[in-house]
Amino acid sequence: MNYQHHWHDATPIHLPLGKIVCIGRNYAEHAKELNNPIPTEPLLFIKPATAAVHLTRPLDFPRDQGAVHFETELAVLIGKPLTNASASDAEEAILGYGLALDLTLRDLQSQLKKQGHPWERAKGFDRACPLTPFVPASDLDKRCLHFSLDIDGERQQSGDTADMLFPVAPLIAHISTQFSLLPGDVILTGTPKGVGPLQSGQILQLTLEDRLSVSTRVV
């Protein structure tokens, strides 16, 4: 898919993208809006590297499998190998922060959930993970990060790491007990409330603090 990590100044990050590890329902209000139970431990799934595309490209996705929902998420770029890591080790391994859209075939996902089947068909399709460039972790106050999504100039989602059920560093440490993480891997940390279907012609603006603002449109 010709995806390559970049810093926000357009400098390439010379790390391969191996996998994208995602967490579901990491914001209580989002779990409630989809009538899902609030988890007591992280709910994990993986998108393949082939799902990644640059968010600056127009959004294009399957049109014959029902509604495609946007889910705006803080993305974390891993810079060091992690296996059975501590939270402090995980913190030190964070190379950068960006934003992502976890695109979801919602109708298909609902069908799969009813059947007790995995979600990958609804979450891992080609172009299912548009990613922004990354901001170096050292340039941000990691104690509290705020991000947002505007659609056609109207605020649609607003997220804050303080509202996460499972904070970033402990979450990454937990993931490393299930899947070894490698430099270039990306963690999607969950979406706040306000998700919904994408419509042709919409303009999306994603913002991380005052350090990153990226726009795209739906073809």
The model's pLDDT over 12-67, given as tens digits with 9 standing for 90+, comes to 999 999 999 999 999 988 878 877 788 899 999 999 999 999 999 999 988 889 99
pLDDT recorded at residue 148: 98
CA–CA distance, 121 with 112 (Å, rounded to integer):
9
pLDDT recorded at residue 1: 60
Question: What does pTM read for this prediction?
Answer: 0.95
pLDDT recorded at residue 71: 97
Which of helix, strand or coil describes residue 77? strand
CA–CA distance, 19 with 182 (Å, rounded to integer):
9
Q: Could you give the domains of the chain?
A: 19-217 (3.90.850.10)
DSSP string, 81-130: -BSS--HHHHHHHEEEEEEEE--EEHHHHHHHHHTT--SHHHHSSTT-EE
pLDDT recorded at residue 138: 94
- CA angle 154-160-165, nearest 5°? 130
- C-alpha distances (whole Å) from 135 to each of 41, 77, 142, 170 are 28, 9, 12, 21
Residues of the chain where predicted confidence (pLDDT) is lower than 50 = none
